[in-house]
Structure 1
Amino acid sequence: PGVWPAPGLEVRVVNPETGEPCKVGEEGELWHRGDLVTRGYYKKPEETAQAFTEDGWLRSGDLAVQDEAGRTIFKGRLREVLRISHFMVAPREIEEFLMAHPKVHQAFVVGVPDVKLGEAPVAYVIPREGEILNEAELVAHCKGKIASYKIPRVIRLVKDVPRTPGPHGDKVQKARLREQAIQELGQEARP
């Protein structure tokens, strides 16, 4: 649960919109600075300007939290974060909660546009082999255990999701899954 920074490396977690440091336990973007951090992108001044602050902090694009001991806990990628009302929610958090259900093999969460919330979470769940599972069972698993805004508005039980094969295992195509959710659901994601 968490890691300390390497010697010579400064680490902080900040609000990605304001750049202000987050409180202990509050999620934000992970920033790095130090001798171990690159100074920029070779012959790419625009990308370097976007990735670094004026005082040398590298904006990692990672969502993280720091505990009381100063350890950093990775939560996901900032570009994958769902913005539900005024909350930033890492899909990984919802996925891990769903996968704690004994009948769930894998779970993948994406956000779909929602007029009221900004985004609503939608889950694609692959049941364990031989298990019979339904949406109501998973919603009941979530109620009272995670914040109501994190409970997927729609849960699709599927055999698989779009993936790209790779040398370290298949990578789930979240962008394609999100497009699929938007096409399938339309306004169905409304609570």
Structure 2
Amino acid sequence: MSKLTVIEGSAAPLPIENLDTDQIMPKQFLRIIDKVGLSAGLLYDLRFDEHGDPIDSCVLNRQEYKSARILIGGSNFGCGSSREHAVWGLQQYGFEAVIAPSFAEIFYSNAMNNRLLLVQLDREAVDVLLRESVKAPKSELKIDLEAQTVTSNASGKTFNFPLGVRHKRMVIEGMDTIDLTCTQLAGIEIFEKRHFERYPWAAVM
């Protein structure tokens, strides 16, 4: 998998506090045996009314945000159940990153494990980016993973964001937790050999 060091694109504003995974991916779209088709269910109850007609006021139904690759959300984004489908749906819809003041812990791990970048910025920075995305919907943001910065083309402002070494490597190199573990395989095999030499009775026959 090719390295991912920069994400560039316009952003869609969705400043909803405590947006949970049941809202991001409603339960009726979980009855699948693979990941295909989840984009249709993304934020379904916000995008469509009870008759299945698009709600014009929803940001994802507005033409100026159709090509957005970055979503700007509210605090505690992704709270609720641990359904991984919420991450897959966001990705299938076209989002490569979500910017918010904070994220639910399980959602954060699920996202990073699937190469959906989550960028945590302080509330003031998020509010700046939200205002710009409303005022100039086509303006782009540049997220530099290596430098850990978000730069607004509209204002030229740059914001730094935290990113742990492990998650940074996972997103840049396209690794999940299994891939990451396999990079330590040589050390694991050495440990295993020494362990069973010391405790031969523990070896599985």
TM-score (norm 1): 0.28
Decide which structure has greater strand share.
1
TM-score (norm 2): 0.26
Decide which structure has greater helix share.
2
- Bigger radius of gyration: 2
Whose RCO is larger (CA < 8 A, sep 6+)?
2
